[in-house]
A and B are shown apart, each in its own frame.
Chain A
Amino acid sequence: MSSSSSLVAMKKVVHQLRFEASINRVKVSQAAADLQQFCIQNATQDPLLTGVSSSTNPFRPQKVCSFL
């Protein structure tokens, strides 16, 4: 690789790092609290946590119709 193209590449790396360094960061306590709150608030909508009743379960075994 020629020295000028590696210079260009390195400049891009530095530019990107400057950009990533400049973002605002929220405290972990706030982030953690928000994650927990989301989980708790949506727990009732999560079938893996609540289970699914047969009447609302689209994958329940289909009742077979038969001629009497």
Chain B
Amino acid sequence: MGEMEQLRKEAESLKDQITAARKAVQDTTLQEAAAGITVVGRVQLKTRKTLRGHLAKIYAMHWAVDANLCVSASQDGKLIVWDTITTNKVNAIPLKSSWVMTCAYAPSGNLVACGGLDNMCSIYNLKGKDGNVKVMRELAAHTGYLSCCRFLSDSEIITSSGDCTCVLWDIETGTQKTVFAGHQGDCMSLAVSPDFKFFISGACDFTAKLWDIREGVCRQTFGGHESDINAIGFFPNGNAVITGSDDATCKLYDLRADQELITYQDSSIMCGVTSLAPSLSGRLILAGYDDFNVNIWDSLKSERVCWQVMTTE
């Protein structure tokens, strides 16, 4: 038997081992375990602010840690930092490349970053001495579009790219510290764990991967989706991962059980998920879809929660 054939057999055997090991700890399902809980009742929402100013499609937004400021990126070629309480534009930053796909706010509040079809991640200093916001660094090395970026600190940022890799950058030197390779398709989205030790990536190979930032390795790979994963996020306690896919479903994977616990799907939903976020307790998952709708899911019951926008006080 040739060496290649031997390796292929070993790979298949290991995949079977992983499947068996996952089944071995599957002593129940999340749905059975949560059978005694009632579905969350109706969620009432009120539109409080509308942030107007962008002139073209807004591709991404990211909240600052203070939950007061946020940054948005539009293909009108601008990054805008908003004060969401006053709706004032704190900064309107013109971009060299208008084909922006992602933006991020640093935890310190000092920096914002963006990137897109220019294959670069540009870092902007909001707190420059003369008050002008300038490009601080252009992180260039990806050979594909920049799909997502997230700061670890003012000196480190993680990017995901259409070149199938994620990269940890040293912002000061503008160099790649670690390249996280392993996905077999464009990386579409990433999220950093609450303790900043891990990050997860979702890709067009239909899998999500958990990466150890300091060790530079992939620890776990989660499959099950039948199409590209566009959106990914951590459950607030850092022990589970939520994904949103073009297959019209969202899934929750538990990191410690190393498997999918539940799928959020409905036969009436036939379009892809483009974005998602869990609520503060993790009980609700808000997901945005290609049909311009948002669905709110009870994360433990896998049922859609009714919600309505109140028009009167």
Contacts and interface: CB of A to CB of B under 8 A. Distances in A.
Given A21-B21, A45-B280, A47-B280, A36 B219 contact: no
B118 interface: no
Contacts of B48: 59-60
Contacts of B30: 28, 32, 35
Choose among A10, A33, A60 the residue with the greatest number of B CB atoms under 10 Å from its CB: A10
A20 B34 contact: no
Contacts of A51: 44
Contacts of A42: 236, 280-283
B236 A6 contact: no
B52 interface: no
A34 B254 CA distance: 10
Interface residues of A, number: 40
A46 B283 contact: yes
A3 B4 contact: yes
B260 to A, nearest CB: 10
Residue from the set B27, B239, B254 with the largest chain A CB neighbour count within 10 Å: B254
Interface of A: 3, 6-7, 10-11, 13-14, 16-21, 23, 25-36, 38-39, 41-43, 45-49, 51, 58-60
A49 B40 contact: yes
A28 to B, nearest CB: 5
B247 interface: no
A21 B12 CA distance: 12
A6 B3 CA distance: 11
Contacts of A16: 182, 218
* Cβ-closest 4 pairs across A and B: A42-B281, A32-B33, A46-B281, A17-B14
Contacts of B218: 16, 20
B207 to A, nearest CB: 11
Contacts of B25: 25-28
